[in-house]
Every structure is written in C-alpha cells, then in structure tokens.
Amino acid sequence: GGPASLSRFRGALVAGVLGDCIGGEFEGAEEVPMESVLQHLSGLDDETKGNGVLEYSDDTAMTRCVVQSLLTRAGFDEQDLARRFAKEYSTSPGRGYGNGVIQVLKKLSSFQLSDVYQPARDQFNGRGSFGNGGAMRTAPFALTFPDRFARLGAMLTHSCSLGYNGAILQALAVHFSLQGALDLPLQFINDLIAEMEEVEDNKEARNDARILKEAEKPFCERLHRVRDLMNRSKVSIEEVISELGNGIAALHSVPTAIFCVLHCLQPLEGLPESYGGLERTIAYSLALGGDTDTIACMAGAIAGAHYGIEAIPQSWIRCCEGAEDADVNAERLHKLYHQF
C-alpha cells in the first residue's frame, strides 16, 4: 500500500496507454529508424497539438474493459468481462483488432452463450490463439493475483497456452516491477524465469510447445535469451529482433517488451540525454518495428510501474486518448484492491 505503490500503479496503467497510442504510428513497419521515432516523440511536445490526438487501439480498448469490470464487479467476473469485450468491439470495431479475435468477440455478443470460454477454444481449428492480445491487457490484474486473473482474463480470447502464458508473464513482470524489483535487474529476470518454470510445467503447455515446434518451455527459453542479451555490452536492434522477435505472437513480443525495459534502465547511445528511463523505454520499443503499439504498451506498463507516474511527461499524457482516464481509474482500482 502507500503513496509509492499508488504512483507506481498509476504509472503502469498510464504508460501502457501511452505505448499503445504513441506506438500506433509504426505498427507493422519493418524498419523504424530511431530518427523517425525521435521526430514522432518530439512532435508530442508541440503545444499546438495535444488533447488526445493520438487514438488508442485494441490494446487500450480491452484494458479499459478489464479496469471497468474489476471496478464494477469488485473482482474478477468472466461473464461481465466477456460482455464488456463484446460490447466494446461492437461499439468501436475499427480499433485495429487481430483478424482472428474478431470472430470471438462477435460470438461473445450472443445472448445464449453458456460457456464464455468456448468461442476462444474454437479458434484456429481448436488450437486457440497464441497472439499477444491476452498479454496486452493484463496490467490492471498486476496489483493482486496476477497469475490467476491474467490467465482467466486472457483465456476469454486466447486459449492456446502460448497465448495465456504470455499474459501471465506480462502480469508477473508488472507485478514485480510494482514492488520495485527492477532495482535489481538480474534478480528480476531470474525471478520471472523461476515463476515461468512452474507456469509452463504442465501437459497443455508441453503439448502446445511440441505442436508448434518450440522449446519444451518456450517462455523460459526466451527469458534465458533476454538474460543473455542483458549481459552483453552492446546489442543491435537486429539482434534483438532475431533473438526475441517483434511480432504479434505473445512468445515473440512479451519477452521482447521485458527486454526493452531492462535495456533502457541505463542511458542509451543515440537517445536524448534529457530522456528518463520511461521515455527511453517507449522510444526503444518503437525502434524495433513490428507490433510496436503492443510491445510499447506492454513495455510501457512494466516501465511505468518501475518509474511511477511522476516520470511520465505531461505533454505525452495530453496527446494520448484515454491516458487521463487510465490515471483516474488506477487510483480507483488501487483503493479497491487495498480494501481486500
């Protein structure tokens, strides 16, 4: 509890929105020169802009559903959350949802649905989605019970273990960061590996990994790569992309987001000296290209939890749709959690 924890939680929810809104500019781009990133970011300081000019996408739209559901139901309620996802999609279908998840969201609108997890199970010939759509919306779960809620919250759309385990990893990363764990980066990554060793230690995970020709414990393997990259003195963008990925699969984006945060704890060559760690993290995430909005959203949430709300530039908040809402709701959710 306490003011430190409130600042961190506000930071997590607000910086997640910023990553999504600011990162949308480069979503799907194969190569993003740092120069373009810095130009985009310096445009946010332009006083003539501002007041929500950068719209949020599916990442924030779904995170807002999670927040509203937790607040309204005072806890996790899959029926309520499923209804909110479906309603949000039918109200604003143009927020850049993944091609597969749209089918789930349409089915979730149906009134006579007895099992809200069934539409997700039917995806991709019964394999379920391994996209990062479950992981991108987990920050609100990170204050308490991150693994259980993140898993259930993700399974409403992502029933493949490589999808929902990515959501668990992202929630755990935000959870540890909220507790100040990034003060000891090596301990942080080792703790995540230890947690994921257990999370991936079951039949479903091993089966999915085998079918998709991944390592026996795919997220653990990727986290080991993150640790190897952390320990290197110089790492190029190309190496990060080839080792960790920048794609729409949770496996190719959650460990990447974690790496972005770790890599940006110290000043980086090629980034303005005026930048703090939070700005560095967002800038670096965008420079990777690929699924930039989602990777910046996830990295933003982890970094925001570490640096706190005070580290976030006001001008960035003013430019991003939904950033002020996220701040107000973070306070409400923080209050609610501390009644438990």
List interacting residues with ligand 8NA (CB under 6 A). Answer: 27-28, 57-58, 96, 98-101, 124, 127, 129-133, 160, 248, 291, 293-294
Q: Which among 101, 114, 112 is positioned nearest to 160, based on CA atoms?
A: 101
In the complex with Mg ion, which residue's Cβ is closer, 25 or 122? 25
CB of 26 to ligand 8NA, least distance (A): 11
Q: Which of 1, 16, 14, 11 is nearest to 336 (CA)?
A: 1
Long-range CB contacts (within 8 A, 24+) of 147-155: 147/171, 147/172, 147/195, 147/199, 149/76, 152/76, 152/78, 153/66, 153/76, 153/78, 153/81, 155/117, 155/120
**What is the rounded distance in angstroms from the CA atom of residue 290 to the CA atom of residue 328?**
31
Least distance from Mg ion to the Cβ atom of residue 234, Å = 28
Largest CA distance in the chain: 57
Nearer to ligand 8NA, 117 or 235 (CB): 117
CB of 1 to Mg ion, least distance (A): 32
Query: 127 is in the binding site of which of Mg ion, ligand 8NA, none (Cβ under 5 to 8 A by kind)?
Result: ligand 8NA
Give whichever of 68 and 103 is closer to ligand 8NA, judged by the CB atom: 103
For 143, 168, 263, the CA distances from 226, given in Å and listed in that order, are: 24, 17, 10
Partner that binds at residue 50, options Mg ion, ligand 8NA, none, CB closer than 5 to 8 Å by kind: none
Residue whose C-alpha is closest to residue 123's, from 100, 102, 107, 150: 100
| Nearest distance, CB of residue 226 and ligand 8NA, angstroms | 20
Q: Measured from the CB atom, is 57 or 177 closer to ligand 8NA? A: 57
Closest residue by Cα to residue 253 from 202, 228, 280, 289: 289
Which of Mg ion, ligand 8NA, none does 124 bind, CB closer than 5 to 8 A by kind?
ligand 8NA
Alpha carbons 101 and 135: distance in angstroms, whole number: 13
How open is the CA angle 268-293-267, to the nearest 5 degrees?
10
Cβ proximity to ligand 8NA, 120 vs 323, nearer residue: 120
Q: Which C-beta is closer to ligand 8NA: that of 28 or that of 272?
A: 28
Residues near Mg ion (CB under 5 A) are: 57-59, 96, 291, 293-294
In the complex, the smallest distance separating the C-beta of residue 148 from Mg ion, rounded to whole angstroms, is: 25
Binder of residue 117, out of Mg ion, ligand 8NA, none (CB less than 5 to 8 A by kind): none
As given in the structure block, the two tokens for residue 223 are 């986290």
Nearer to ligand 8NA, 248 or 317 (CB): 248
Partner that binds at residue 276, options Mg ion, ligand 8NA, none, CB closer than 5 to 8 Å by kind: none
CB 259, min distance to ligand 8NA, A: 17
Closest distance of CB 207 from Mg ion, Å: 27
Q: How far is the CB of 106 from ligand 8NA (least distance, A)?
A: 12
Q: How far apart are the first and last CA of the chain?
A: 11
Beta bridge partners of 54: 320
17 binds, among ligand 8NA, Mg ion, none (CB under 5 to 8 A by kind): none
Q: Which of residues 37 and 250 has its CB atom nearest to ligand 8NA in the complex?
A: 250
99 binds, among Mg ion, ligand 8NA, none (CB under 5 to 8 A by kind): ligand 8NA
DSSP SS3 for 72: helix
> Minimal CA–CA distance to 205: which of 159, 270, 154, 269?
159
